[in-house]
Structure 1
Amino acid sequence: MQLLLDANFHRSESWGAGEGPNGPPHRPTARSWEVAKDVVKPGMVAWAIDTFGPFKSLGTDGIFSALLQKVKDLLIGPLVRVFRTSIACKYIQLEWRTAKVVFIRKAGRVQHIIVKDFRPISLTSFVLKTLEKVVDRYLRDRIPQTSPLHTNQHAYRTGYSTESALHAAVAKIEARLEKGGNTQEKTPENLGNTDRILLPEVRRSTQEKDIPRLCQLEIPDPRELVQNAQCHENCNTIMTY
């Protein structure tokens, strides 16, 4: 169990149930509320809720997506107020930060005995996922207009993957060889491990892209999500609460 946690949440620490860091919220200003209202709009919240599959696996709060969709008209108003407050205060409540992590067996493996034979799925609150989708949509609609993504960014983009990154590198090498030149490329050992990108680097990038600071919600390090790990029978799954 600890090997799986160390490999997939390499900066994780164990916390007892109900414990963990929970810093004070930011004191909002008039400008904070303006940005929050610009980001969170009723139509965008409704759109985000509708994008979920109705019976996806739920997080630790027990709220499943079909419930949000069935009573969407009643929830839009309260959710808009809660989301705007979260952004204006730059604060994510501790209950939303708790994730359930399930390790499932990778297909096509003869045996499942080493860490790389399993992959983690993090199940977070659908309420938090709704807020994430709203903020993500806002950033994708606004930021690329003034600060486009680099053409060689293959992580966290639709239609891009480790395969496209390798293809781009190979194409560059082939082009140089066709011109009669020599080439020497260095491939990082952890190519494809985009889950190991450090939060300080993410924060630095958001500053370079001139993303509003209020959209940089105070989401903690992954180690703050791993609280009380339990290994189920035969270690088929591990859940953290």
Structure 2
Amino acid sequence: MVAKKIRDMKENKSPGVNVIPPKLLLEIVEQNSIPLPTVFNLSLKEGVVLLEWKEANIFPLFKKDQEKVKDYRPVSLTSVICKLLERLIKDHLVDFLVKNKLINPSQHGFLKARSCLTNM
């Protein structure tokens, strides 16, 4: 599952604080197929998240007018590896909720094959 998620990553995304770009993970995906799940499982079992995964580089990104300070919004670049763990957790959680019919049928946001448009 970890290797599949790595292959689904966009390689041109910016790296986080640990400076590990998605492209590097894609190039060594087979070598990461054992250590990353081990680290992820240990982190979940112990309930501890590495400090490096909590850190972020924050950059201002302008929305409209570069001259106005209020037209900037902060963008946080976090660890690519932590984002990978977050995606895995989200997928498992959504799968569990859907399989056990714990999500209301009228819920359309953030679910596969459903959107705000299908809700209409």
Partner of 1:90: 47
1:56 alignment partner, SS class: coil
Q: Which residue of the other structure, out of 16, 33, 44, is the alignment partner of 1:76?
A: 33
How much does 1:139 deviate? 1.0
Deviation at 1:48, TM superposition (A): 1.2
Over aligned residues, Cα RMSD in angstroms? 2.3
Write the letter of the residue equivalent to 1:58.
Answer: P
SS in 2 for 1:134: helix
Q: 2:86 aligns with which of 124, 132, 148?
A: 132
After TM superposition, give the deviation of residue 126 of structure 1 in Å: 0.8
Question: Residue 85 of structure 2 aligns to a residue in which SS?
Answer: helix
Describe the shift of the 1:149–1:93 C-alpha distance in structure 2 as closer, same or farther (beyond 3 A): farther
Long gaps (5+) in structure 2: none
Number of residue equivalences: 115
The percentage of aligned residue pairs carrying the same residue is: 29
Read off the aligned partner of 2:49 and give its amino acid letter.
I
Name the structure 2 match of 1:113.
68
Higher strand share: 2
**Higher relative contact order by CA 8 Å / sep ≥ 6: 1 or 2?**
1
Task: Answer yes or no: is the 8 Å Cα contact 2:15–2:78 preserved in 1.
Answer: yes
Tell me the residue number matched to 2:57: 100
Q: TM-score with structure 2 length normalisation?
A: 0.83
How far apart are the structure 2 equivalents of 1:123 and 1:149?
A: 33
Amino acid paired to 1:61: N
Larger radius of gyration: 1
User: How far apart, in 1, do the equivalents of 2:13 and 2:21 lie?
Assistant: 7
